[in-house]
Amino acid sequence: MTFRKRCEALRMILTGSICVRPGSVYDAVSIRIAEDLGFELGMFGGSVASLAVLGDPDITLITLTELAEQMRRMSRAASLPVLVDADHGYGNAMNVRRTVEELATAGAAGLSIEDTLLPQAFGQPGTQLIPLEEGVGKMKAAVDARGDASVVIMARTGAASISGLDDAIARAVAYEGTGVDALFLTGIKSHAELEAIAAATKLPLVLGGFPEADCDYLANQRVRIALQSHAPFAAATHAVYETLKALRDGTSPKNLKGLASSELTGRVTREADVKARSAEFLGLKR
């Protein structure tokens, strides 16, 4: 699937009538698994990017280059459309332009730019937001950087849990006027808050961190994508820890539990395709 078709697949989700829950992906293997399981969309979160690439918590230490390169690795491995959490765009509005350019050429189907003040300011506890005017400038820069490309741009705000619902609505309405394709909301804690923002806006909505809610209800509120955490990375971390601990404690490799079968490993490494190419191009027997 070409990069443009991946963008078009994401756009079809946004213009559809149902709510999709994406699979959390972070490397070549995880995106292939999500694709094989039939997920319509992958979500590459900033927190799992930091964990997968650096082994660091989500405090904006990862760079744009590292994020884009990891996205490029995933794009090579699978055709699943991926939405990337691009944090604050790695700087001001001019940096946002480059962020869009880099992620688009790395194969991202879409990306979100948020209005959080990042990295955290000196001496300022808690999460802070940039001024609304600066946020509008960032969203305009993101749309401008896209040019005639089909990559999806989402304006993200967590204002509902930081500065209140009224500010969240004001920011959503302002960002909607910049030409972005969707609004990405975090910090929504109730149906009433979601319904108020949905009533004040027109664009498709994306939700992160919302309490468990029925997909039919979310779809009726114009929510087209609802995240469901980054559990796969946590599960993988636990599995690696338990396996290494068992080996360190003296367990024989043949007695280890929970390992991927050779059949599953062959599928996620696309072993059959590799063998077919080796036979055709290297003259090797299959």
The tens digit of pLDDT for each residue in 37-88 reads 999 999 999 999 999 999 999 999 999 999 999 999 999 999 999 999 999 9
Average pLDDT estimate for 260-266: 96
- 216 has binding-site annotation: no
What per-residue confidence (pLDDT) applies to 149? 76
What per-residue confidence (pLDDT) applies to 63? 97
Q: Show the beta-strand stretches assigned E in 90-214.
A: 110-114, 152-157, 182-186, 205-208
Instruction: Look over the chain and give the mean of its residue pLDDT values, rounded to a whole number.
Output: 96
Average pLDDT estimate for 184-196: 96
Q: Give me Rg for the CA atoms of the chain.
A: 20
Provide, rounded to the nearest whole percent, the portion of the chain with pLDDT above 70.
100
For residue range 113-145, list pLDDT tens digits in order. 999 999 989 998 889 999 999 999 999 999 999
- 85 has binding-site annotation: yes
Q: Show the beta-strand stretches assigned E in 12-136.
A: 23-24, 42-44, 82-85, 110-114
Strand 182-186 with 42-44, pairing = unpaired
- 238 has binding-site annotation: no
Q: Which of 86, 68, 81, 73 is nearest to 28 (CA)?
A: 73
- 17 has binding-site annotation: no
Taking 80 as the threshold, does the pLDDT of residue 152 lie above it? yes
- Domains defined along the chain, listed by start: 3-230 (3.20.20.60), 236-282 (no CATH)
Residue 126 is classified by DSSP as S
Round to whole Å and give the CA distance between 31 and 73.
10
Taking 80 as the threshold, does the pLDDT of residue 14 lie above it? yes
Q: Binning pLDDT at 50, 70 and 90, where does residue 190 land?
A: very high
The reply to whether omega before 57 is within 30° of 0 (cis) is: no
pTM for the complete prediction? 0.96
H and E: helices and strands count for the chain:
12, 8
Buried b / exposed e across 88-106, counting CB within 10 Å, b at 16+? bbbeebeebbbbbbbbbeb
